[in-house]
């Protein structure tokens, strides 16, 4: 049975099924609270998404969800800690949260700041340096920066 776990007249119709999101949260070990369900519903759609806390905040408000930016940050970090999202940091401390948690790389459009996925197998990494003593490479994330062609 697919039914919203609560009824909030301020929340407009959202494009997702709560049951799917509940299952996703529970299998990641998170309690399906109202806010996690709402934000999870915005994030976990059929397409891969890259959001910043600010962009998700705007999106939530547009959907009629009143939630503070601090709550958005907390929720994004909880989702990242439990493996539901991957954090992609670009210089200047700018963080994106990626719903594609598989190993992959990105194109970054310098003008718009938009990230686009590059499947992991589309880039061949060779001659990686030996990591410093006592460490091992955990992952390699390639960001290819784009600007308009002349």
For the bound state, the minimum distance from the C-beta of residue 104 to Zn ion, rounded and expressed in Å, comes to: 6
Residue whose CB is less far from Zn ion, 33 or 99: 99
48 alpha-carbon distance from chain centroid:
8
Residue whose CB is less far from Zn ion, 57 or 105: 105
**Which of the residues 35 through 94 are near Zn ion (CB under 5 A)?**
none
Separation between Cα atoms, residue 32 and residue 18, nearest integer Å: 10
For the bound state, the minimum distance from the C-beta of residue 95 to Zn ion, rounded and expressed in Å, comes to: 13
Applying CB under 5 A, among 11, 117, 118, 120 the residue interacting with Zn ion is 117
> Quick check: 67 and 57 in contact, CB under 8 A?
yes
In degrees and rounded to multiples of 5, residue 8 shows phi and psi of -130, 110
For the bound state, the minimum distance from the C-beta of residue 109 to Zn ion, rounded and expressed in Å, comes to: 13
> Quick check: 4 and 18 in contact, CB under 8 A?
yes
Is residue 98 a contact point for Zn ion (CB under 5 A)? yes
Separation between Cα atoms, residue 37 and residue 14, nearest integer Å: 11
For the bound state, the minimum distance from the C-beta of residue 8 to Zn ion, rounded and expressed in Å, comes to: 31
Contact residues for Zn ion (CB under 5 A)?
A: 98, 100, 117
């Amino acid at each position: 049975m697919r039914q919203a776990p609560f009824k909030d007249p301020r929340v407009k119709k959202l494009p997702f099924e709560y049951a799917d999101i509940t299952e996703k949260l529970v299998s990641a070990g998170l309690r399906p609270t109202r806010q996690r369900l709402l934000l999870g519903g915005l994030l976990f759609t059929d397409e891969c998404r890259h959001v910043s806390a600010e962009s998700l905040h705007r999106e939530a408000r547009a959907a009629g969800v009143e939630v503070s930016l601090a709550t958005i940050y907390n929720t994004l970090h909880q989702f990242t800690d439990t493996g539901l999202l991957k954090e992609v940091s670009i210089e200047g401390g700018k963080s994106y949260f990626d719903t594609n948690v598989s190993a992959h790389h990105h194109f970054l459009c310098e003008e718009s700041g938009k990230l686009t996925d590059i499947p992991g197998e589309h880039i061949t990494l060779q001659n990686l340096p030996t990591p410093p003593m006592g460490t091992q490479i955990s992952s390699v994330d390639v960001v290819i920066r784009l600007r308009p062609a002349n």
